[in-house]
Amino acid sequence: MTPEFDRALDAYAELIIKVGLNLRAGQRLIIRAPLESAPLVRRVAAHAYDGGARLVEALWNDPQMALVRFTHAPDDSFTEHSTWPLQAGLEYAENGHAYLSIGGVDPDLLKDVDPARLATVQRTEGRLYAPLSRLISGDAVNWCVVGYATPGWAARVFPDSSPDEQQKRLWDAIFKTVRLDAPDPVAAWQAHVDDLAARTAYLNDKQYHALHFRGPGTDLTVGLPDNHRWLGGAAPTGNGITNIANVPTEEVFTAPHRNRVDGVVTASMPLSYGGNLVENFSLTFEGGRVVALRAEKGEALLRSLVETDEGSARLGEVALVPASSPISKLGILFYNTLYDENAASHVALGRAYRNCIANCEELDDDAFAGRGGNTSNTHVDFMIGSPQMDVDGLMEDGTAEALMRAGEWV
Amino acid sequence: MTPEFDRALDAYAELIIKVGLNLRAGQRLIIRAPLESAPLVRRVAAHAYDGGARLVEALWNDPQMALVRFTHAPDDSFTEHSTWPLQAGLEYAENGHAYLSIGGVDPDLLKDVDPARLATVQRTEGRLYAPLSRLISGDAVNWCVVGYATPGWAARVFPDSSPDEQQKRLWDAIFKTVRLDAPDPVAAWQAHVDDLAARTAYLNDKQYHALHFRGPGTDLTVGLPDNHRWLGGAAPTGNGITNIANVPTEEVFTAPHRNRVDGVVTASMPLSYGGNLVENFSLTFEGGRVVALRAEKGEALLRSLVETDEGSARLGEVALVPASSPISKLGILFYNTLYDENAASHVALGRAYRNCIANCEELDDDAFAGRGGNTSNTHVDFMIGSPQMDVDGLMEDGTAEALMRAGEWV
């Protein structure tokens, strides 16, 4: 580690605490993190304590342990689970404390694992963690998702570089995506968050009845519920703190109507899901539901994702990102949703964010569905935007207004 | 990592599962482990699953995070704690599953930390973990403590070697202590366990009223309760499995009478406690209680240990180990109780093992005290044996029988 990298990693940790989480004195913080990210976790903890945090704990995960399990455990054991990792998250989220998640594991680590075993674990964990997912994705507390350039991930992104070079290049890219190359990163984030707020205000005022996406392999109409809300950038949370839940973030997003999605959509990037890649795939929707799918690679895994539960065959998010976004301009395929979703417009299968439809925070699942919102134990984004994508906003009477042309805001 | 080391680490993992834990098909296993021990944790998990384990989870700890907390957290925050790490252990121990603890962190990592902060955390965690400590040390389930040669620990043990050489030398020593250099390690363990069983049978038959230790700076009488039990090597556990709770182990041990310890004892090795070393220290006992102490280094920490709670000023264990034990013969000061306690006779401040007095497993603390057993939230061993130590067994009428002379069994 050079002193220069050391300073950059420390600035990144400070940004996570001050801009992403906006952590307050007196709060506790739990950090879900892969073992390899320990150098960042320790720096984040130091900045948290320096700002008056009372307790900072890491909930470590080791993807290699998952691989050991998938390759050695008895075939009928993959629904087994404990409850303490869930309790760890709930102990923080139910008591107004902050939650940080660090990603960046090798997106292809589990590529040789039996897809049936993977699907069983995904389904089991999706059900198990549903209470925590609902609290976090519902902004009950200040939370944030960030990335760490692990060697395995860097090797996937820059396969032709040397291992040292791979990690250095990925770190350089990550630091750019989070505006650490700006003279004053905190000021740069404030200006960026203001831009996103102006965009969501415009779209919220329009209240389109649907969006219409047209591009190579895509002709998709995504209905929007009455009183849907576009969000993006900073958001107020249930514990009274305004956070930025993804660092980086370039998207504005809302909830699709669970029963009004029709047509065909073709992904514009690979999807990393459950330690595997799904590539060159498309989905066909009727009345909100996936009725057909195909993928050149990972079709069985994609099918198991769609079949996770009743809601995983419907959309829970639609997000608009210009093809010229700073992340898109890096020209890097990250194989990681946090970055790739901020380089292209995208949709997500599964759970909708409750705060994307007005006054839904307290509704039960059935009432939320009645408002058009989708419920599921999963939420998986995939990218559909490209420089060939046109997007129209449709009024209830069918009138179309151009929103994006050739991937750019009109 | 050389292929040779790789094979040795794998054999060590297999020994831990088959000899230490004696893990059974259908069990789950939780592993409390420092981040740096991941290569061993993954191998242990593979052997556990290969033997039919249903779920193996690691409860990782990062000593560096503790250091960050001690140096950055607000001064009045050191009684803060969460409950999920305790819940993790209880979820296993209360349901008949196995528990493995991996030690080996730098024994001097926290040497510059404010002793008051350290003492507060030790006291808070001692109280918090008491229900789990009682289950584990009471052999409710099969459990095991083993070591991992982390770089920080190896540097302390072999300060004059190069970093690579330090870790290699410590691994060589660890592998010897656990008999991996025997042609058939499992058979060597069986013979060793049989030896220890013969020794405990002899002592249990004798039912001495007290032990008398004499050596440089030591003249100590340790009373033994009626119906005390000597244990050592393999032991039956509450879930019906016979385990070996320490790998390595060379000791036979029992519970002292909490009110009948008198005299002066001088430690024969440094004590590593809470990431700090206490060196060249002695304790004076009257009626079972520490009434005076002194230490050349770490006296404040030793005092805070003794003052943890009512029971921490009394003894909870007395153990006999010949000065010629295989671990002692290595001539290495490990600064780690698991190894050093098996190189020398020792005593422990704090909690007594309930199964060291007949029929005490179900008694409450007061009734246990009535039988002579000590209760505390802590249990900290320190070494008193040396080649200059004589030990007598005393009958109730004062008759003395020589047990050890010049550190060896008579």
With respect to residue A372, please indicate whether it lies within any of the assigned structural domains.
yes
Q: What is each CA distance from B79 to A338, B122, B307, in whole angstroms? A: 36, 9, 16
Q: Does residue A216 lie in a domain region? A: yes
Closest CA to A368 of A292, A307, A311: A311
Residues A106 and A224 reside in one and the same domain? no
Same domain, A293 and A358: yes
Nearest to B25 by CA among A76, A140, A28, A268: A76
- pLDDT(B211) > 90: yes
The string of pLDDT tens digits covering residues A128-163 is 999 999 999 889 999 999 999 999 999 999 999 999
A281: phi then psi, degrees, rounded to nearest 5: -130, 155
With CA atoms as reference, the chain B residue closest to A55 would be B80
Closest CA to B247 of B235, B230, B229: B235
* B186 found inside a domain: no
Phi and psi for B367 in degrees, rounded to 5? -65, -35
Q: A390: helix, coil or strand?
A: strand
Residue B7 belongs to domain with CATH number:
3.40.1830.10
Q: Are residues A67 and A102 in the same domain?
A: yes
Q: What is the mean pLDDT of the segment spanning A75-99?
A: 98
Mean pLDDT, rounded, for A95-115? 94
Token output for B336: 């780690």
Assess whether B350 and B291 both reside in one domain: yes
Estimate to the nearest angstrom the gap between the alpha carbon of B93 and the chain centroid: 19
Residues B214, B132 share a domain: no
How many angstroms separate the CA atoms of A177 and A247, rounded? 8
Chain A: residue whose CA lies nearest to B87: A84
Does residue B361 have a pLDDT over 90? no
3-state secondary structure of B261: strand
Specify the number of domains making up chain B: 2
Tell whether A23 and A96 lie within a shared domain.
Answer: yes
N-term to C-term CA, chain A: 44
> Hey, are the CB atoms on A73 and B62 less than 8 Å from each other?
no
Mutate: best of A37, A62, A150, partner B, most B CBs <10 A: A62
**pLDDT of res. B272:** 87
**Which of these, B340, B374, B354, lies nearest to B222 by C-alpha position?**
B374
Within a 10 A sphere around the Cβ of B9, how many other Cβ atoms?
A: 20
Task: Give B216-247 pLDDT, tens digit per residue.
Answer: 999 999 999 999 999 999 999 999 999 999 99
Residues A206 and A333 reside in one and the same domain? yes
Is residue A50 domain-shared with residue A196, that is, in the same domain? no
Domain contains B183? no
CA A348 to chain centre: 9
- Tell me what pLDDT residue A275 has: 79
Of B153, B177, B201, which residue sits at a domain end? B177
- Are residue B287 and residue B164 in the same domain, yes or no? no
Whether residues A211 and A285 share a domain: the answer is: yes
Q: Is residue B350 part of a domain?
A: yes
Under DSSP, the state recorded for B199 is H
Distance CA A127, CA A149 (A): 29
Residue B147 sits at φ, ψ, to 5 deg, of -120, 160
**How high is the ipTM of this complex?**
0.92
DSSP A136-155: HHTTSS-EEEEE---HHHHH
At B371, give phi and psi (nearest 5°). -90, -5
For residue B297, what are its two tokens? 């280094």
Q: In the structure, what pLDDT confidence band is assigned to residue A260 with cuts at 50, 70 and 90?
A: very high
Identify the pLDDT of residue B108. Answer: 86
Are B320 and B384 within one domain? yes
Nearest to A72 among B50, B68, B71 (CB): B50
What is the per-residue pLDDT across B80-126, written as a single tens digit (0 to 9) for each?
999 999 999 999 999 999 999 999 999 889 989 998 999 999 999 99
- On whether residue A19 sits in a domain, the answer given is yes
Structural domain harbouring B338: 192-230+251-409
User: Do A269 and A148 share a structural domain?
Assistant: no
Predicted pLDDT of residue B115: 87
Gap between the terminal Cα atoms of chain B: 44
Instruction: Report the b/e string of A250-278 with b at 16+ CB within 10 A.
Output: bbbbbbbbbebbbbebbbbbbbbbbbbbb
User: Quick check: A179 and A11 in contact, CB under 8 A?
Assistant: no
Distance from CA of A143 to the nearest CA of B (A): 18
pLDDT for A361: 84
Residue type, A150: T
Q: Which amino acid is at B228?
A: H
pLDDT at B23: 98
For residues B74 and B55, the answer to whether their CB atoms sit within 8 Å is no
Q: By three-state DSSP, how is residue B341 classified?
A: coil
The pLDDT of residue B362 is above 90: no
Q: How far apart are alpha carbons A383 and A343 in whole angstroms?
A: 9
Q: Which of B38, B83, B92 sits opposite A62 (nearest CB)?
A: B38
Report which of A90, A214, A72 is spatially closest to residue A140, judged by C-alpha positions: A90
Which two three-digit tokens encode residue A346? Answer: 């995208």
Residues 6+ apart with CB under 8 A from A329: none
In 3D space, the residue among B104, B389, B402 whose CA is nearest the CA of residue B266 turns out to be: B389
Average pLDDT taken over every residue of chain A: 95
Flag whether A242 is in a domain. no
Q: Which of B47, B61, B69, B113 to mutate to test the interface with A (most CBs of A within 10 A)?
A: B69
Q: Quick one: pLDDT at residue B273?
A: 87
Residue contact B68–A38, C-beta within 8 A: no
Please check whether residue B239 lies inside any domain of the structure. Answer: no
Give the integer Cα–Cα distance in Å for A6 and A12. 10
Q: What is the pLDDT of residue A115?
A: 87
Point out the domain boundary residue: B115, B144, B177. B177
b vs e for B78-106, b when ≥16 Cβ sit within 10 Å of the residue's Cβ?
Answer: beebbebbbbbbbbbbeebbbbbbbbbbb
